[in-house]
Structure 1
Amino acid sequence: MAERRSASRQKAYRRGHHGEWLAAAALMLKGYRILARRHRTRFGEIDLIARRGDLVLIVEVKARRTLIEAMEAVGRESERRIEGAADFWLSRQSGYGKLSVRFDMVAVLPWRWPVHVENVFYGGN
């Protein structure tokens, strides 16, 4: 039983890694620079942090069968965790007062190019 759980956990980890790689590639093709992947703070993890000019994206990556499933997977608890981690990361950046921050999601769907959803939620709610 433990071996089966471990194998499925490893598969999920690999799928997540692959999804984040695809999401990062999609954002880079849009002109964003990836600043961090799987950035861990005491408040939680941010899947991707990207930047273009003064705009910083805090990106949640969701691999699901449909776009609706991916969007529904970002719940209020996830939003709070991501906001806390983003605030923590931003507070450690020089000149952070000049940066605009946006919370986006990239949905990694089967047999499709990743879908970038802007403003999936608004920080500070």
Structure 2
Amino acid sequence: MIAASRARNAPNSYKIGVAAETRAKLLLEAKSYRILAERYKTKGGEIDLVAQRGDHLAFVEVKCRRTQEEAAYAVLPRQQARIATAAEVFLGEHAGLSHESASFDVILVSPTQGLSHIEQAFLA
């Protein structure tokens, strides 16, 4: 019964996730970031957004939940490791990309609380 319920909610969850990523992208662009990649996927993991501002790269995870607190708790250590693995692949594939610093950021999205950009949310 639970599996059937998840299957019915999957298309809606996907739409909510895409909408949250779109809002996050607009937030980053308003903060003078240039979006280099969206939903960057590798065998080892996925990065929702890769953004650059000046010589700084941000590997951004977007989490949408009922509250920002729930969204923050949803970025688990295992997922952080998968994002870091994907970031290594991205950097390997874009060796010519100039950057002096990089960070793992999180954008929390809540229907009632809006968006929060947490820079350097975790270390890899």
Please, which runs of 5 or more residues in structure 2 have no aligned partner?
A: none
The alpha-carbon deviation at position 68 of structure 1 amounts to 1.6
Q: Percent identity?
A: 41
Q: Where does residue 37 of structure 1 map in the other structure?
A: 38
The alpha-carbon deviation at position 96 of structure 1 amounts to 4.8
The amino acid of 1:45's aligned partner reads E
Q: Where does residue 123 of structure 2 map in the other structure?
A: 122
- Distance of 1:7 and 1:35 partners within structure 2: 33
Q: Where does residue 24 of structure 1 map in the other structure?
A: 25
- Residues paired across the two proteins, number: 123
Please, which runs of 5 or more residues in structure 1 have no aligned partner?
A: none
The amino acid of 1:25's aligned partner reads L
The alpha-carbon deviation at position 7 of structure 1 amounts to 3.1
- Distance of 1:5 and 1:98 partners within structure 2: 41
Give the SS at the match of 2:114.
coil
TM-score (norm 2): 0.90
Give the SS at the match of 1:114.
strand
**CA separation of 1:3/1:78 partners in 2, compared to 1, >3 Å: closer, same or farther?**
closer
The amino acid of 2:24's aligned partner reads A
TM-score (norm 1): 0.89
The alpha-carbon deviation at position 44 of structure 1 amounts to 1.1
CA contact (8 A) 2:55 2:98 kept: no
The amino acid of 1:7's aligned partner reads R
Runs of 4+ in 1 over 6 A off after TM superposition: none
RMSD between aligned residues: 1.7
The amino acid of 2:74's aligned partner reads A
- Distance of 2:63 and 2:116 partners within structure 1: 10
The alpha-carbon deviation at position 99 of structure 1 amounts to 3.5
The alpha-carbon deviation at position 98 of structure 1 amounts to 4.0
